[in-house]
Amino acid sequence: MRDKHDHVTLDLDLLLAVEAAPTPVCQAKRKPGRPTKPDALSDAERARRYRARKKARLAELRDETVPVSSTVIDLSALPPWKRKAA
């Protein structure tokens, strides 16, 4: 029998209902956003490819066998062997 002044103790039938209830099976939540591709690159691979592209571009710019050309500025101050015929 429950004391009418006891507000802490739960009723027995309420306790049995909580214990008898099946626990829900939680499925793994998917992250919001676009799903990942199976052939996606990692951050390290992406950075490695970027550094390789940058290194190749800078090597091309430093190559002295390729004449210099520009559509923006006047290169007439450069010697003729460095200018590319436009």
CB 2, CB 9: distance < 8 Å: yes
Give the global pTM. Answer: 0.43
Q: Give the Cα separation of 32 and 30 in Å (integer).
A: 6
User: Any idea where the domains of the chain sit in the sequence?
Assistant: 43-86
Residue with structure tokens 């690159």?
A: 41
* pLDDT tens by residue, 14-27: 656 666 666 666 77
Does 76 score more than 80 pLDDT? no
Give residue 59's pLDDT. 92
Look at residue 55 and tell me whether its pLDDT is greater than 90: yes
Q: What does the pLDDT read at residue 56?
A: 95
Q: What is the mean pLDDT of residues 68-84?
A: 75
